[in-house]
Amino acid sequence: MNRLCDSMEPRVMDDDMLKLAVGEQGPQEEAGQLAKQEGILFKDVLSLQLDFRNILRIDNLWQFENLRKLQLDNNIIEKIEGLENLTHLVWLDLSFNNIETIEGLDTLVNLEDLSLFNNRISKIDSLDALVKLQVLSLGNNQIDNMMNIIYLRRFKCLRTLSLSGNPISEAEDYKIFICAHLPDLVYLDFRRIDDHTKELAEAKHQYSIDELKHQENLMQVRLEDEQARQEELEKHKTAFVEHLNGSFLFDSMYAEDSEGNKLSYLPGVSELLEAYKDKFVIICVNIFEYGLKQQEKRKIELDTFSECVHEAIQENQEQGKRKIAQFKEKHLSSLSAIREESELPNIEKKILECSADISELFNELMMLEMQLVEQLEETINMFERNIVDMVGLFIENVQSLMAQCRDLENHHHEKLLEISISTLEKIVVGDLDEDLPDDLRALFVNKDTIVNAVGASHDIHLLKIDNREGELVTRINSWCTRLVDKIHKDEIMRNRKRVKEINQYVDHMQSELDNLEYGNILD
């Protein structure tokens, strides 16, 4: 289905091929200009043409991170891959290849035009991420199921579709079916859809379209509900209290507790268990609500800190700009005076004065930076103390509430053990009126067996409580450590960048003066 060059071996994309392709695009193109400079900066290339090269496999495109247009038609590509870093891609041509499956496009969220014309594709799918898709060319493939068209209804921007040359295009109802199910389509198989065809399609498929819309609306509601739940869950995770706003922890204690589930059928245990669960869940909800409140406080603290840092940097930059502006005004005047001066001693004197002004500017800018460093260091240290204290208090109070959960578990364990021993004594003397399930009765062989069963259940419950507490403490401590480390590292990087900027600017000023001194004056 594709054009093969019999005289050429199948090729894999390597750096040599990519450099050649970039260079071949000519000096009129940005890529060609880049190729003639110090080196080819693949990350700056916006368009890349790789057609008719017998490429078998897509590879080594990760450097083209800003690519907008990619032409890979008329090769022998069998699989769509290696495109995950091309997130800015808008136009992609993979026509006239040997592709059988649509895949590998999940990161191309900006893609608007996709051509897969003349391949071996039999199913339209795996395009969900292409929310901006406007043009889709799938002609001359092997698509034979009209239901594939319904999948395309999710692409609200789709205006141009090509499916000619597929088995479905031979169907009697082909054009009408597509126009009915894709009402926003403007062009089908390179021809504009007229209003009469749209009206005919709508009338013929009205019932099925209405039912389809109803199902889509229901699905959309479910999707929105699920997204809302996920967003809520992420909010809870950020507060480190996910799944504590209900019975999840309590239920998890019994999920793997076979002995505890058996013992729940003992006389009087059902009521005991219900009361235990109610009190346990209340404590969990208290932890949950407290966690959300503390997360909001931490957020306010972080936002206030970020605002303070931003304001300090902004004010410092404004002061630096004013000093540079004052310097420039004086410096330009001094340079003019030097150019107009004819006496060498006076020229040398003025040049020395200019050098002194440059040094003074450097000292002033560095002084401003040192003042900012000290100011930010104090602000960061204060924030670190505050956030560490907040996290410490949160952990302390959560551990106190978790201790209440353990107390409830210990109390329940004691009561359950009492009921179990009492039941064993009744069984021994034949005084038990209630019938017990066989797997439960098997536990009442002797006192050691039943005590061990109750103890095993108790251990599982305590382990679940300990693990949930340990997970919460570990995660919030890790979050706090990463946050503080990042703030310190960001400040170090900011300071280094600023010092570099100051040095570069001052060096430029001095170089300009030196060139003036040794170039214009002495000549």
**DSSP calls for 430-463:** T---S---HHHHTTTTSHHHHHHHHHHHHHHHHH
Quickly state the pLDDT bin for 351 (edges 50, 70, 90). confident
- Look at residue 188 and tell me whether its pLDDT is greater than 90: yes
Which one, of 285, 189, 198, lies nearest residue 244 by Cα? 285
Quickly state the pLDDT bin for 23 (edges 50, 70, 90). confident
Check residue 403 and give its pLDDT: 97
What are 410's two structure tokens?
């210990």
**Amino acid at site 68:** R
Contact 238, 295 (CB under 8 A): yes
Q: What is the pLDDT of residues 61-74, one digit of tens each?
A: 999 999 999 999 99
Check residue 35 and give its pLDDT: 46
CA gap 445, 388 in Å, rounded: 54
Quickly state the pLDDT bin for 40 (edges 50, 70, 90). low
Check residue 26 and give its pLDDT: 52
Check residue 250 and give its pLDDT: 96
- Look at residue 390 and tell me whether its pLDDT is greater than 80: yes
Residue appearing with tokens 């800018």: 365
CA gap 337, 342 in Å, rounded: 10
* Domains in the chain: boundaries: 11-142, 247-518
What are 376's two structure tokens?
């930010």
Check residue 27 and give its pLDDT: 52
Q: Tell me which of 431 and 210 has the higher pLDDT.
A: 210
CA gap 239, 118 in Å, rounded: 52
Contact 129, 108 (CB under 8 A): yes
What are 36's two structure tokens?
């003639």
Q: Tell me which of 306 and 438 has the higher pLDDT.
A: 306
To the nearest whole percent, how much of the chain has pLDDT over 70? 94
* CATH number for the segment(s) 11-142: 3.80.10.10
- Give the contacts of 183 (CB within 8 A, at least 6 positions apart): 198, 201, 202
Helix axes 206-238, 195-204, angle to 10 degrees: 90
Check residue 334 and give its pLDDT: 85
Check residue 1 and give its pLDDT: 43
Which one, of 35, 38, 89, 99, lies nearest residue 62 by Cα? 89
What are 245's two structure tokens?
């706003």
* Range 213-239 average pLDDT: 94
Quickly state the pLDDT bin for 519 (edges 50, 70, 90). very low
- Look at residue 31 and tell me whether its pLDDT is greater than 50: no
- Give the contacts of 236 (CB within 8 A, at least 6 positions apart): 242, 243, 244, 245, 288, 291, 292
Least confident of 35-49, 110-124, 125-139, 162-176: 35-49
Quickly state the pLDDT bin for 431 (edges 50, 70, 90). confident
* Cα atoms found within 13 Å of the Cα of residue 485, Cβ hemisphere only: 6
Q: What DSSP string describes 334-348?
A: HHHHHHH---HHHHH
Check residue 2 and give its pLDDT: 47
* Range 339-349 average pLDDT: 83
What are 75's two structure tokens?
């090769």
Q: What is the pLDDT of residues 79-134, one digit of tens each?
A: 999 999 999 999 999 999 999 999 999 999 999 999 999 999 999 999 999 999 99
Indicate the helix (H) or strand (E) that contains 261: helix 258-263
Least confident of 347-351, 362-366, 447-451: 347-351
* Cα atoms found within 13 Å of the Cα of residue 24, Cβ hemisphere only: 10
Phi/psi zone of residue 436: left (φ > 0), alpha (ψ -120 to 50 degrees), beta? beta
* Range 390-395 average pLDDT: 97
Indicate the helix (H) or strand (E) that contains 422: helix 344-429
Contact 155, 132 (CB under 8 A): no
- Write down the mean pLDDT value for the chain: 91
Check residue 514 and give its pLDDT: 83
Check residue 349 and give its pLDDT: 87
- Look at residue 6 and tell me whether its pLDDT is greater than 60: no
3-state SS string for 85-134: CCCCCCEEECCCCCCCCCCCCCCCCCCCEEECCCCCCCCCCCCCCCCCCC
What are the backbone dihedrals phi and psi of residue 115, each rounded to the nearest 5 degrees, phi first? -115, 120
